[in-house]
Chain A
Amino acid sequence: MSDEHIISIRGVSKEFGGVKAVNDVTLEIRRGEFFSLLGPSGCGKTTLLRMLAGFEAPTRGEIFIDEQAMSAIPPHQRPVNMVFQSYAIFPHLDVRGNIAFGMRKSGLSKSEINARVEEMLEMIKLPGYAGRGATQLSGGERQRVALARALIKQPKVLLLDEPLGALDKKLREQMQLELRALQKSVGITFVFVTHDQEEALTMSDRVAVMSKGQVLQVEGPMGLYEQPTTRFVADFIGTMNFFEGTVRDAGDGTTNIDAESLGEVRAETKDAAFGAGSEIVVAIRPEKLRLTFEAPDDSVNVVQGRMGPAAYLGDRSHLYVYLTGRDEPVVVAMQNAGRSAVGIDQADQPVWLSWDEEAIVLLPGE
């Protein structure tokens, strides 16, 4: 392990009564990064986080935090702190009591601890809240107190278990930005668990997408969105159109594919990942498809279809286009730059879809 990594998870599995919640995960988390574990509920992300905190012991494998093996170290001696999903604010203590809870063994005097608490309250933008009862706090305030209570310990890693899930949309978006800014200012590594892909993309330096106990892909937000490596990731992050296909020939930098409903598709590929004849999936993002009501000049990367229903979403519309040989419509996203949305009330009109070669993502077939 290099000094660059603060957490190293090596071949970790966790079984609950024969069910593998986490299945052979190997993962390195860099010092000072905002790292997210993203996946649907039951994918093992929370179990993995709880193993980092020490509340669950791996069935197999080992976790290293700052080059130290964690298996023999109980939760209260680990250099990590956690913000719980329920916030777990102690109801019998006031805000000061909550934030100072973990400072008893810090060796600081009472007045020093109080000064630290005040600093933390400034940081979470709740000055003057020290004497408030835990029961008088709103959801957002509880979340901030939970954050301060963990950060006052100056942990090497802060673990966050879906801390924004209980907040309403506006507050959640605000807290996303604040959390991100806070992480940058304190420089502590954050490991953030969420099932909300938008949240993960907004906040993280890197994201690990998990499914069924396994890590499928670890990448920065843009890489995850633009170059997913599995159908699951492509589907889970954003919206994606999928077409079954077969590789006709794989050349230098370009791969030609026979795809269902699309006909011949040419894709840019860095290295010839798929050999001729292999069954693959062609994926295109809705916003990377151009929709026109007349045939474009180009004859490659174009397909004709029939306009289906449209969903007006305010800033953009999702238009559904039917292609021959395919029941499921193709989703096309259009920005509503003008006053009137394109494609509404134009069902059954013939339309053409076109795209750039670089928009095509090739995924292994199942």
Chain B
Amino acid sequence: MSASWTQKRDRFGGLGVYTVIYLAFIYGPVLVLPVFSFNDSIYVAFPLKGFTLQWYEEMINNPRMLDALMNSLKVGGTVAVLSTILGTLAAKAVTRYRMPGRGPVVGFIMLPLVIPEIIMGIALLVMASTGGIPLSLLTIGVGHMLLCVPFSMVVMISRLEGFDKSLEEAGLDLGENPWCVFWRVTFPLALPGLIASLMLTFTISFDEFILAFFLAGTDVTLPVFIWSQLRFPQKLPGVLALGATILTVTFIMITFAEWFRQRGDQLRKASYREQ
């Protein structure tokens, strides 16, 4: 008893130190961003000079930056909705129906997850230019869809596989047609997954740089805009302020998505409890 207790403590000691270092390594640099966004100096260097909201003011009063933000919101919102719809339908198909070629189809949908974005960016750019398709927010959106559909599908497959298929059959059995069963049974049970998928895909699109960089026309998304600003040292603190803002918003969204996912898991576990 006491031996295992000491063992546990020792292991915690070693792993504890490792954990602290690991977390510091991840979050240290990220936390520098907000700190310098409040620093009263255009140079990003210690020691800190003083507190200011000047950079946030500059950020808000920069119309090009706000345009880029709006572009990102537009692309992100549209991509999130469309890829979640497609991902959900695909997930429903592969979890609910026996169909030929299921494995390869899923594999090909998932493939963009492992193809380097730079390769995809070049490929899409070549296709757009040879096809005479003008680069715009639309091309960015299409590129982002390729990335987001597999993510949405993964989220929705785990959600749909999780709940008992006979729930939908029970809905039919109790006299509802398939469409009503979808709205009265499938949809409410899948809702946590749908919300998680919307948030995840929006965030992916919102953050995405490489494809957006390759496929942007005159309208750019926020990450591309930020990158363009880095060439001018005096703009850097404004970018830091923007970066800090995005970081905060993204963090809140991911936390929400995770919360919804876990809430869904609890429901799902409950539906399985007595089986």
Interface residues in chain A, defined as those with a beta carbon under 8 Å from any beta carbon in chain B: 53-55, 74-77, 80-82, 84-92, 101-102, 104-105, 134-135, 137-139, 142, 149-150, 153, 166
B166 at the interface (CB under 8 A from A): yes
Check B188–A92 contact: CB distance below 8 A. yes
User: Do B275 and A166 have beta carbons less than 8 Å apart?
Assistant: yes
A55 to B267, CA, bound (A): 26
Q: Which residues of the other chain, A, contact B181 by a CB distance below 8 angstroms? A: 76
Q: Contacting A90 at CB < 8 Å: which of B167, B173, B175, B268?
A: B167
Q: Is the CB of A134 within 8 A of B169?
A: no
**Does B273 make an interface contact (CB < 8 A)?**
yes
Are A88 and B167 in touch, CB under 8 angstroms?
A: yes
Which residues on the B side are within 8 Å of A92 (C-beta)?
188-189, 267
B170 touches A104 (CB 8 A): no
A89 to B164, CA, bound (A): 10
Additional A-B contacts beyond A55-B169, A85-B166, A134-B271 (17; CB < 8 A)? A53-B169, A53-B173, A76-B181, A82-B169, A86-B164, A87-B274, A88-B166, A88-B169, A88-B170, A90-B170, A91-B163, A91-B167, A91-B270, A92-B188, A135-B271, A142-B274, A150-B174
Any A CB within 8 A of the CB of B135: no
**Chain B interface (Cβ < 8 Å from any Cβ of A):** 163-164, 166-167, 169-178, 181, 184-185, 188-189, 267-268, 270-271, 273-275
Asked whether B169 lies within 8 Å of A75 as measured between CB atoms, the reply is: yes
Q: Is the interface of B mostly helix, strand, loop or mixed?
A: helix
Name 5 interchain pairs, CB-CB below 8 A, sorted by A: A53-B169, A55-B169, A81-B174, A90-B167, A138-B274
Given A76-B175, A91-B189, A105-B175: A84 and B270 interface contact (C-beta under 8 Å): no
Known: A53-B173, A76-B175. A91 touches B274 (CB 8 A): no
- Among A80, A91, A138, A142, point to the contact of B267 (Cβ < 8 A): A91
Least Cβ distance of B162 to chain A in Å?
11
* Nearest CB of chain B from residue A279's CB, rounded to whole Å: 44
CA distance A65 to B261 in the complex (A): 44
The answer to whether B174 touches A153 (Cβ under 8 A) is yes
* Residues from chain A with Cβ under 8 Å of B170 in the complex: 82, 84, 88, 90, 149
CB < 8 Å neighbour of A75 from B163, B172, B268, B271: B172
Closest Cβ of chain A to B14, distance in Å, is 40
Residue of A nearest to B189 (CB): A92
Contact A81 B271 (CB under 8 A): no
Which of B167, B174, B184, B185 has the most chain A CB atoms inside 10 A of its CB?
Answer: B174
Which one of B167, B176, B185, B274 has the highest number of Cβ atoms from chain A below 10 Å of its Cβ? Answer: B274
| Given known contacts A91-B271, A92-B188, A76 and B166 CB-to-CB distance under 8 angstroms | no
Distance in angstroms from A51 CB to nearest chain B CB is 13
CB distance from B130 to the nearest CB of A (A): 45
Expressed in whole angstroms, the minimum distance between the Cβ of A151 and any Cβ of chain B is 11
Cβ B176 vs Cβ A102 within 8 A: yes
Partner of A88, one of B164, B175, B178: B164
B166 and A86 contact, CB distance less than 8 A: yes
Question: Separation in Å of the A311 CB from the closest CB of chain B?
Answer: 34
Q: Lowest 8 A-B CB distances belong to which pairs?
A: A102-B174, A135-B270, A91-B271, A88-B170, A88-B166, A75-B172, A139-B274, A84-B166
